[in-house]
Structure 1
Amino acid sequence: MSYQVDLTNCDREPIHIPGKIQSHGFLIAVNSKSYDISYISQNIESYTGVNAVGLLGKNIIELEEQLAIASDTASLQQLLNLAKGSKSSDTINPLAIDVKGTNYNLIISHSVNDLVLEFEPTKSDLGYDIQKTIGRSVAEILSGKNLSILLQNAAFEIKKIINYDRVMIYKFNEDGHGEVTAEVKNDDLEPFLGLHYPASDIPKQARELYKINLTRIIADVNSESSAIITYEEGAAPLDLTHSVLRAVSPIHIQYLKNMGVGSSFSISLIAHGELWGLIACHNYSPRFIHYKSRDASKLIGQILSSALEYRQDEEDSAKLHELGEAANAIADYIKKDTDFTFALTRNKVTLKDVTTATGVALIYDGEITTIGQTPTDEQITDIVEWLKVNMVDTVYSTHRFPGIFPAAQQYADAASGILACSLSRELGEMIIWFKPEQIKSINWAGNPEKPVEVTADGLLQLSPRKSFESWTQIVKNTSEKWKHDEITAVLKVREDIIYAINRKANEIRILNERLQLAYDELDTFSYTISHDLRTPLSSIKNYSELLLASNKSLDDSAKKMLDRIIKGTDKMHMLIKEILHYSRVGRTEIEAAPIDMGLLLNEIKREVLSALNPENIEFTIGDTPGIEGDSVMITQVFTNLINNAVKYSSKSTPSKVKIEGIVRNNEIVYSVSDNGVGIDVNYYNRVFELFKRMDNALEFEGTGVGLAIVKRIVEKHKARIWFESKLGFGTVFYISFKIS
């Protein structure tokens, strides 16, 4: 059967049915049911003196007689029975066979309806048995501490074992092209280390066969292949998928000749079930390695495959752990902070740390927040619009973005690679990570474009490269590729954010319902207490004070009772005042102006210390950067927080209170800290609610309104407030004001 390889079918060349075998052995195929000879290689006559055509159709018993086949273990028929009953012949191959007084290795394999018998010489050009040296070599190979050293050790040890002129570790990249990652060679040869080879040099169907046949020898590229014949006219060519003698594609033979190679030997490297690469060995003169030595080499390849898989997984796990830790930190931040933008972009660990990106953009709640090297906000908006249309799944990634979205060529230095995850398709909310352009030189072994020749009938036919001089290709508009670990970390972060957003949305819905009800009740209540409670309370207090002052006959018990009434009315007055303040905050317009925080905080300090008169207190005011806000409202905020800090730390020895402000990025953050009773974690979500007081705070005077007022004022200033606290150790309240 003739099959011409051209530009349209290079990847479909049927290399598993070449109709020929290499000439360093001969082949016989028998029907797996009748054991009659169905195919035979013509070169059997040069090995045995028996005519090939004359054997076609004969039974294996007659073949055994004509060739005087002898085995120390069993007859040929018994060996075939054993092979037919096995799913794989690896357990019985090779079989020592004597054919007319010459020793051969018999290798049996399955082929559709036939059993294939291949006879190879037992002698090897190596002159020694690889199996005797394999243990020491494997130990040397595995001594490599990382993947790079492991591969270099492997190349060195295999060259010592098979003594080929050049041994390379050849790794396949994602697009199928290969790269020489390790090499050991004779000193007189030019190096191939670091060179890349196009995918068409080892096409897809060849790579699939390398996954099945873990070793492959081409003993002599200049020898003539021997045709396989059959007695059935029009019969399909014999499938040689599992054959060890299978002839080589003419294109590949010419390719090796052009390189000056006389013999080649390869060992497959498999990782996670896929062809990771090859141990590619070149000799510049013919060299045959017999089956047992090739089998020992296969074992080395299998051990190396397991080792590189483990080492690669180990290195990947370390990186995955690092990215996972960043993702976990992000998850903790969004649990503690209701401001997602701050939680994701303003902490020690940010969204950028979840990948190896150089920049990230968060598009959330109508704003774009960026970290690191990114396109402009306008360009990011264009990217978001493009992603809305082209992003099919929740995650999208590419390392060649300018080639897909031409407008990105203007900012390829910042965004040649993007990794995006959607938070809300309806709102266009998402996170986009960016990797910069990585202009790189790829050194090919010759021009990677396979040359073509025009045949006599006008067809464009592929021709192997004749020049293997290093050919440099400059690759632009691409970034470093996104790794699986990065995408895994992004998916985890997305899941945590979506959960937090949903939780927050539900909390907001409940709070809105409560707030609306509270507003309605507060309006009514405020009116009532303003008009109906103040007058009688004042009367009660006044009469009590009058009785206490004018009635000299009152005993101690009566005086104590009047004191309690007076204090009770004072507390009621304070509560009414606080509630009215809370009610007014929502209705009062802010009169913003620059505030001298140093002056304000020192005045509040004097007032609070004078009112509470604490004992043994260490009160510190640090840096006090100025802010803009309503002076009356801001005074109320800090008075409340400082008052609480002094009050709740009063039982500590000494009591410690500290206030300071820091400027970071585009905000000013003030903190008010104490070493007081702290807040139970079970109350965290109730701290700013109206009338809510902690169990451990009941012994301290208070109304449960102050922090609710603080939060309303802070939010009215478009600022934010949060806290950190540990029961028994103290509390820190933070207020962040944006710098306008």
Structure 2
Amino acid sequence: MPQLECHDEEIHLCGKIQFFGFLCVFDKIGCIAVSENLSHVLNIPLNEILGRSIKELLPFFSAANEWNIEEIERQITEQVFSRFVERIRMKDNDYYLSIYRYDEKTYVELEICNENRLKAPRLFYYAKYLEEQNGNAWQSLTVLIRQIIGFDRVMVYRFEEDHSGQVIAESINKGMSSLMGYRYPEFDIPTQARALYTKFLARHVADIDAPVIPIHGLEAGEIDLTHSSVRALSPVHLQYLRNSGARASASFSIVIDGKLWGIVACQNRLPRNVDLSQRHLCAFLTQYAVNYYLSEHQKENLVAQTIMGVMERDLKSELLVNSDIGVVLERFAPQILEIVAADGLMIKNDHTAKSWGTVPDEGQQRTIDKYIESQERTELFSTSNFVYDQVESEHGVFLPGVLRINILPGNKYYIYLFRKEHIYDDVWAGKPEKIYLYDPERKVEFPSPRASFEAWRETMKGKSVKWRKTELSFMEKVAQIAQQAIAQRGGEIAQLNKELIRSNNALDTFGYTLTHDLKNPLSSIKLAAQMMLIKDDLSKDMLRKMAKNIMDATGLITEMMDKVYQLTQSNYVTFKTELIDPRNKILNILESSKQQFDSENLEFILGETWPIIGERTLLYQLFLNLIGNAIKYSSKKDQPVVEVYSIKQGNSVHYYIKDNGIGMDIRDDSNIFDIFKRLPNSQGFEGSGIGLSIVKRIADRLNAKVTVESELNVGTTFCISFES
């Protein structure tokens, strides 16, 4: 008997809308589809709406508005998906009119506004609330959204690897039972519904029992309602909501890296409309919570990577001086076991096998090796649910978590990691089973929405805690380090030691580089924040300028930290070079340095700035140190003067940074670039003595040359020569 699956239903081609909305669809010629109810609000018969252009119809929606068709057209086409939205009044009611372009058609939607108009959103309050509630942005998000839309239940529903979902945060009305931690089966949200969630981030139904409005003009299958805010929901979905006890529903997609990570699901026991302004605010807050979650997740990863990185560097150093790889790996085995959070570890080759913690017996070990060798990829194998011929080892312990990595390709030299079984109870919102009913008219079976959502408990056995991506990457790095050490040992020890010294020297400046070069953008952020706190009457232009300064500064901080972090992870860092005009960066450095070194009476002369080939972050740091020093060491002059200009000579561009500051007694100009080198006359000026060391290091990296001319109490001129 044929079965009609949920994912076969084309829910975006339903040809119907909800009762609170109105719709008309246009092609290049005129209106080609219109909802049946639109004629009642426009006082025009349907056949007179069809065929008319947008320009002809918009005055019927509101004669009080001046409709600039060219501006509307520009707004809805300037991005991949953009809406034009206007609040209008018709027949003593307020509506949101929105226009958007999709599938080479133009859609005009009208939906009624809620009586209680949403006040100006307190975005600052919302942002602080999301960040400060014990670090749980998802829980804070449910509280805010329930406050905004007034629903009985708001929950964050995260998708698992098996595509089922679990409630990880929830806010509910008094008297309602909690669904926190409950699981929902994959088939509750069919494939095509998940696809729509990634394309259109806000969906809602105001009343599941209200009649739906048909669309006339085109057949239902010809009207793609993927991005429609008023699209009617499928009967199966409505019955599902009815069975769950909800009369109104809303959802906001949580999309991370282009994939549907989860959903903010909202339910209300009585009909309730969520109007356009409320939905837009909730979608915005959801995205803010996503950004906060990613930020916190990145911090956790950075901590883990730092811990792993320390061991990786120690392992690399040890392998370079100790030729017995087995002895070195055994020495680091307890650390690996702890970092990867495994219950057992084994190092095995053709001759020996040594273990730590709990490991399988010999028979189970042979089962593991036999299975892995039958797989396509044998360098790295991992699973959380390995099936043995016998469940328990001779130790009476079940180890379904197995990871094996080949340390030396071509040789049987492996590291194994094991994890014990993790037994826990899954609580499902109803028994996760799909029930089919028979339709005698169509002679097909179709899935029936689940009728029960009462807690159903299932004990999960046979699996361990899953191996995380960071743990797998760490083990790959361990193998890579071992392989590199062996491959490079013969005849390359001296060279490797030289590179190791260079790498360690770079690491020495890691912390100092951060504290030194981050002062400038952090000062910009601090100054902007101080002005916002002190002055209540700042203009929009000034606020916009300060916001841009903050965004630029945070962008620079992020780029600088990324680059320095890369420097700590490898001997070489790949930079993207391009042709750059540094003029704007120089002006930004000027403004922040003047504030930082209290040099408001500075005379700054900026000559011609020729474009140069370099990497943006490195060039910023280069000019920051040289111009910052020029302003700092001339700041105590009665009339400080700093001049920056460039000269093009053949294939070279020479940049000069000249000041009339304290100058230097340069007898051996090479030592001024040594780290922590400070000249005697620099006392009384803040500094750590690493600025010029950073300049020299960056210049070498960019294949540029730095020279200096200086005279005590007269001034200093630095020249950086770039090859074009």
Task: Choose the corresponding residue for 1:69, options 62, 67, 75.
Answer: 62
For 1:676-695, list aligned pairs within 5 A.
none
Please say if residues 333 and 345 of structure 2, whose CA atoms lie closer than 8 Å, have aligned partners that are also in contact.
no
For 1:468-547, list aligned pairs within 5 A.
468-503=453-488
Report the alpha carbon displacement of residue 171 of structure 1 after superposing the two structures with TM: 1.3
The residue identity in structure 2 corresponding to 1:208 is A
TM-score, normalising length from structure 1?
0.62
Please say if residues 118 and 278 of structure 2, whose CA atoms lie closer than 8 Å, have aligned partners that are also in contact.
yes
The residue identity in structure 2 corresponding to 1:104 is Y
2:19 aligned with 1:23: yes
Q: 1:503 to 1:95 in 2, by over 3 A?
A: same
2:64 aligned with 1:82: no
Q: 1:454 to 1:235 in 2, by over 3 A?
A: closer
1:329-376 deviations in whole A, cap 9, x for unaligned? 333333343332222124574432341211122222432221111101
Match of residue 437 from structure 2: 453
Match of residue 13 from structure 1: 9
User: How much identity, in percent, do the aligned residues show?
Assistant: 28
The residue identity in structure 1 corresponding to 2:391 is Q
Please say if residues 4 and 445 of structure 2, whose CA atoms lie closer than 8 Å, have aligned partners that are also in contact.
no
Task: Choose the corresponding residue for 2:403, options 416, 419, 429.
Answer: 419
Report the alpha carbon displacement of residue 130 of structure 1 after superposing the two structures with TM: 5.0
Q: 1:371 to 1:438 in 2, by over 3 A?
A: same
Match of residue 108 from structure 1: 99
For 1:17-416, list aligned pairs within 5 A.
17-31=13-27, 33-34=28-29, 36-64=30-58, 67=60, 69-74=62-67, 77-78=69-70, 80-88=72-80, 90=82, 93-99=84-90, 102-124=93-115, 127-129=116-118, 131-146=120-135, 149-231=136-218, 236-347=221-332, 349-392=334-377, 394-402=379-387, 406-407=388-389, 409-411=391-393, 413-416=397-400
Report the alpha carbon displacement of residue 305 of structure 1 after superposing the two structures with TM: 1.0
Task: Choose the corresponding residue for 2:422, options 426, 438, 442.
Answer: 438
Please say if residues 142 and 154 of structure 2, whose CA atoms lie closer than 8 Å, have aligned partners that are also in contact.
yes
1:515-566 deviations in whole A, cap 9, x for unaligned? xxxxxxxxxxxxxxxxxxxxxxxxxxxxxxxxxxxxxxxxxxxxxxxxxxxx
Unpaired runs of at least 5, structure 2: 494-724
Report the alpha carbon displacement of residue 7 of structure 1 after superposing the two structures with TM: 5.3
The residue identity in structure 2 corresponding to 1:131 is A
Please say if residues 130 and 293 of structure 1, whose CA atoms lie closer than 8 Å, have aligned partners that are also in contact.
no
Please say if residues 341 and 369 of structure 1, whose CA atoms lie closer than 8 Å, have aligned partners that are also in contact.
no
Q: 1:451 to 1:46 in 2, by over 3 A?
A: farther
The residue identity in structure 2 corresponding to 1:141 is L
* Secondary structure of residue in 2 paired with 1:132: coil
Unpaired runs of at least 5, structure 1: 509-740
Structure-2 separation of matches of 1:428 and 1:10: 49
Q: 1:300 to 1:319 in 2, by over 3 A?
A: same
RMSD: 2.7
Q: 1:338 to 1:417 in 2, by over 3 A?
A: same
The residue identity in structure 2 corresponding to 1:63 is L
1:35-92 deviations in whole A, cap 9, x for unaligned? x111111222444444334422233344346x353252425x44653345433564x5
Report the alpha carbon displacement of residue 474 of structure 1 after superposing the two structures with TM: 1.7
Please say if residues 94 and 291 of structure 1, whose CA atoms lie closer than 8 Å, have aligned partners that are also in contact.
no
Please say if residues 14 and 220 of structure 2, whose CA atoms lie closer than 8 Å, have aligned partners that are also in contact.
no
Structure-2 separation of matches of 1:408 and 1:230: 66
Structure-2 separation of matches of 1:123 and 1:159: 16
Please say if residues 320 and 485 of structure 2, whose CA atoms lie closer than 8 Å, have aligned partners that are also in contact.
yes
* Secondary structure of residue in 2 paired with 1:409: coil
Structure-1 separation of matches of 2:50 and 2:492: 84
1:693-737 deviations in whole A, cap 9, x for unaligned? xxxxxxxxxxxxxxxxxxxxxxxxxxxxxxxxxxxxxxxxxxxxx
Report the alpha carbon displacement of residue 12 of structure 1 after superposing the two structures with TM: 3.9
Structure-2 separation of matches of 1:468 and 1:459: 26
* Secondary structure of residue in 1 paired with 2:296: helix
Please say if residues 345 and 351 of structure 1, whose CA atoms lie closer than 8 Å, have aligned partners that are also in contact.
no
The residue identity in structure 2 corresponding to 1:56 is L
1:401-442 deviations in whole A, cap 9, x for unaligned? 12xxx4263449442111221234543332221111112211
Structure-1 separation of matches of 2:52 and 2:447: 41
Max Rg structure: 1
TM-score, normalising length from structure 2?
0.63
Q: 1:424 to 1:71 in 2, by over 3 A?
A: farther
Structure-1 separation of matches of 2:71 and 2:63: 12
Q: 1:187 to 1:172 in 2, by over 3 A?
A: same
Q: 1:116 to 1:71 in 2, by over 3 A?
A: farther
Structure-2 separation of matches of 1:134 and 1:161: 12
Match of residue 658 from structure 2: none
